[in-house]
Amino acid sequence: MTRTPRNAAVVGGGIGGLATALALRRSGWSAEVFERAGRLPAAGTALGLWPPALGALDALGVGAPVRSLSRPQTSGAFLRPDGGRIATLDLAAMKRRTGEVGRLISRPDLLSLLHEAAGEVTFGERIADIRALEGGYDVVIAADGLNSAARTALFGPRHRARYVGASSWRGTVDGETGGTTETWGEGLRFGITPSSGGRTNWFACAVVPEGQRDPGREADTLRGWFGHWHSGVRAILDRLTEPEVLRLDLYYLDPPLPSYVSGRTALIGDAAHAMTPDLGRGACEALVDAVELARALTATPDVRAALRAYDRARRPATQRLVRTARLMNRMAHARRLPGLRNAALRTAVTVGGRLG
């Protein structure tokens, strides 16, 4: 007698949702993915994949193609606006400890790869109330991002994305860069990373009011703030054009959720633990969530017990990262006592806090 596979609904077709669908389908589950956007994004900047995320991608069976599409992080440093060095990332120590170094990949490339591996997605489908899905599926996965409607429906509006006090600008420009750098000023910072196709990924952050915008003049604003910084930053600004600039305010989830599960529904990724990008771990943790959730659901036929195991495994670790990222954000955007801040950063990097 053929056993009917257990079925899951996955709300959200981003990195976490696609990874969850892939993990469940590889484990014998049937999974339907509902994504409100009409298609996968065709453009986007680079993201970093730290060793735990690469391990999750190996478990999903896509580690090899991800490595072929990405490039290793060969160096990393924190700099002062004049180009002086604050601290250096010890990537050799990371490789000794984990067997890997971080890798850089464009978000569209990773999404396309996961989509190809995971299979069918229903695009253009907005789920009005995630609670209505439980009656038709063995388990429901909420992977609907920063402003998760599922999180609000299950836990109320108190647990929401809150503005961290800083906005970000990001994009890519033509031309190669050497290693990865992040330059810290007073309330300002500028990051540069290699990208694929002979291009360079960049980001900038500044302490500004929420929702503030300067339409048509964002690139000029950046040149006004950073145009006197070291030559690496100036080289990016010289190649920058207004259409290439994407601006986003930065948010994190506060207060933290009391649980990542409710009934037979589980939250993953930003829906569960949205964090500021200061550790470069948001997408990484969504991948780990997906693998751990699928493992828990495969280990027992009792869905509620599996979800409790997932919650125990992931909530303490990810909420600790949310707090650490928030602390890093505060430190990065400090406007007073930069010398003490830089000393604290050197200590954090030395003990591995940045790479944890």
pLDDT, one tens digit per residue, over 288-317 is 999 999 999 999 999 999 999 999 999 999
The mean per-residue pLDDT over the stretch 185-204 comes to: 90
Q: Measured between alpha carbons, how far is 354 from 321 in angstroms, rounded to an integer?
A: 10
d(CA 193, CA 354): 16
Main-chain dihedrals φ then ψ at residue 177, nearest 5 degrees? -120, 165
pLDDT attached to residue 354: 40
pLDDT for 96? 77
| Distance of alpha carbon 2 from alpha carbon 297, whole angstroms | 20
CB-based contacts of 313, cutoff 8 Å, min separation 6? 292, 296
Report the interhelical angle of 218-226 vs 231-239 (nearest 10°).
Answer: 160
**Mean pLDDT over all residues of the chain?**
91
Domains of the chain: 7-69+107-161+253-330 (3.50.50.60)
Bond prior to 277 in cis (omega within 30° of 0): no
Give pLDDT, residue 355. Answer: 38
**pLDDT of res. 340:** 67
Name the more confident of 353 and 209.
209
- The answer to whether 269 and 286 have CB atoms below 8 angstroms apart is yes
> Distance (Å, rounded) from C-alpha 203 to C-alpha 190?
6
Which tokens go with 118?
Answer: 């995971």
User: Distance between CA 202 and CA 339 in Å, rounded?
Assistant: 25
What pLDDT is stored for residue 349 in this prediction? 60
Q: What is the mean pLDDT of residues 146-163?
A: 97
**CA–CA distance, 197 with 81 (Å, rounded to integer):** 28
